[in-house]
Amino acid sequence: MKRQINRYRRFTGWDYAKGASLFITIATAPRRPLFGTITGGRMVRSPLGEKVAEALEALPRLNPGLRLFGRVVMPDHVHFNCALAPGLDAPLKVLGGAIRRFKNYTTKLAKHSLELAERSSELAEHSSAIKSGATEPAVQNRFDGQTAFGQSTTLWQQGYHDYLLLSRAMIDATERYIAYNPLKWELMYGAGGALRVVEPLSSPRLDLGDYWKGAGNLALLDGSLPMVSLRVSREVAAPEAITRVVARMESAVEKGYVIISGFISKGEQAVRDRLVARKDAKFIRLLPSCIPNRRFRPESVYLAPFAEDRYLEIARGNDETEFGRRACLDLNDEIIKIATAGEGLALYWKAEGPQVLARNDARDMPAVPPRCDDRPRFDGRTVFGQRPDERGWS
């Protein structure tokens, strides 16, 4: 029996009559890429994709009480942000009805355009058969929607996915997600493989006793590149103080330093935003938890640096870690070790100003040895029959 989807399974704790901002996703059935392709981080729409985009733009005009904001037509789905006006009678039915009419209309357009394409193909084959002297050209099956749409006679999956946006920050985040979605698609599914997760990582800067994963430009972990680890206290919140932090990090970028941080506090995120904007900035983000084995989806703000090959995300271990004070302190300890395993320094910016926690001037070092922490580790003596220092470890 076919599973039925409840079209109105919305957030029960919210009174939609007061108005609502929503992030909506509608996907094709069965996720067929009928609306175009992604090239150079941009969506190149097919003729059907253009019609779907036009129908999407018409939603507010045809449905009073519904406002449309950011939107994008992707190869096999559509995203858009919308707002339901306060005071609507049965607001969820207004939303559901608008989406139902949009889906019905675009399904008819799809069937019509695909039927025309099939008829054109039949005529071409018929003409070719006559020219070749065949007395009985092959007869094609008539279009019934199933060939084009898989096992369904509709263009779209049942229902729609919605996300209630309860704050300005959530609205801004989904607007960025929509804007970056074509680029994200290309990074995930294109030939570049920028979002391919590599594991286990091996680098002179990483502890040999831990299991590391990473995605992005792995060359940024080269022991010969100078690096600065950045931690900014949450007490650094005044705009002028944050401006000084950003200026200091820009100076480091200009001197060729790679910046590594968790980019968690307000000051660290201000630095991150500037690093994203600067095309010459190279930086690494250490995640507080592991990188998932499947469907790695970095935050949208990092997609452009991924594409420009000047950014790396790394994480330690294969287990999910609940983020809290302990995890934050561990992360900050780790970025210090990574930065100072080769040439680099560790910077902690507090309310009273910057403090250098550690420094390693490795300019005169012939090579950077692999890092081993002081924690008890398996050292390989039993298997390899030699001491670690005899193998060039320290």
Reply yes or no on whether the pLDDT at 292 is more than 80: no
Q: Tell whether 375 is covered by a domain.
A: no
Shared domain check, 256 and 350:
yes
Shared domain check, 183 and 104:
yes
Question: For the segment 89-106, what is each residue's pLDDT rounded down to a tens digit?
Answer: 999 999 999 999 999 999
300 pLDDT tier (thresholds 50, 70, 90): confident
Taking the C-alpha atoms of residue 180 and residue 167, their distance in angstroms, rounded to an integer, is: 20
Q: Tell whether 388 is covered by a domain.
A: no
Question: For the segment 9-59, what is each residue's pLDDT rounded down to a tens digit?
Answer: 577 788 999 999 999 999 999 889 999 999 888 999 999 999 999 999 999
Average pLDDT estimate for 120-133: 56
Shared domain check, 282 and 185:
no
What's the pLDDT at 223? Answer: 84
Shared domain check, 30 and 140:
yes
Shared domain check, 220 and 171:
no
Domain boundary among 189, 223, 247: 189
Contact 313, 292 (CB under 8 A): no
Residue 38 domain boundaries: 16-189
What's the pLDDT at 115? Answer: 61
Q: Which residue has the higher pLDDT, 1 or 35?
A: 35
Q: Tell whether 78 is covered by a domain.
A: yes
Shared domain check, 220 and 113:
no
377 pLDDT tier (thresholds 50, 70, 90): very low
Residue 219: which CATH number?
3.40.50.450
Reply yes or no on whether the pLDDT at 137 is more than 50: no
113 pLDDT tier (thresholds 50, 70, 90): confident
What is the token pair recorded at 349? Answer: 């910016």
Which percentage of the chain shows pLDDT scores above 70? 77
Q: Tell whether 2 is covered by a domain.
A: no
- Integer-rounded Cα Rg, in Å, for the chain is 27
Shared domain check, 152 and 255:
no
Shared domain check, 159 and 54:
yes
If residue 36 lies in a helix (H) or strand (E), which one and from where to where?
strand 36-39
Q: Tell whether 351 is covered by a domain.
A: yes
> Any long-range contacts for 326-330 (C-beta under 8 Å, 24+ apart)?
327/288, 327/289, 328/262, 328/264, 328/288, 330/288
Q: Tell whether 6 is covered by a domain.
A: no
Q: Tell whether 198 is covered by a domain.
A: no
What is the token pair recorded at 4? Answer: 């039925």
Question: For the segment 323-352, what is each residue's pLDDT rounded down to a tens digit?
Answer: 788 889 999 999 999 999 999 999 999 999
Shared domain check, 216 and 185:
no
Residue 32: which CATH number?
3.30.70.1290
Q: Tell whether 201 is covered by a domain.
A: no
Reply yes or no on whether the pLDDT at 320 is more than 90: no
Average pLDDT estimate for 141-163: 66
Shared domain check, 305 and 171:
no
Shared domain check, 28 and 177:
yes
Of 244, 189, 187, residue with least CA distance to 217: 187
Taking the C-alpha atoms of residue 129 and residue 126, their distance in angstroms, rounded to an integer, is: 5
299 pLDDT tier (thresholds 50, 70, 90): confident
Contact 333, 231 (CB under 8 A): no
The vertex-174 CA angle with 170 and 175, nearest 5°, equals: 115
Reply yes or no on whether the pLDDT at 390 is more than 60: no
Q: Which of 204-213, 260-269, 384-393 has the highest mean pLDDT?
A: 260-269
- H-state helical runs in the chain: 47-57, 59-62, 91-131, 146-149, 168-189, 239-254, 266-277, 303-307, 325-340, 381-384
Shared domain check, 263 and 167:
no
- When mean pLDDT is compared across 52-66, 175-189, 251-265, 344-358, the lowest value belongs to 175-189
Domain count, the chain: 2
Taking the C-alpha atoms of residue 87 and residue 207, their distance in angstroms, rounded to an integer, is: 59
Mean pLDDT score of the chain: 81
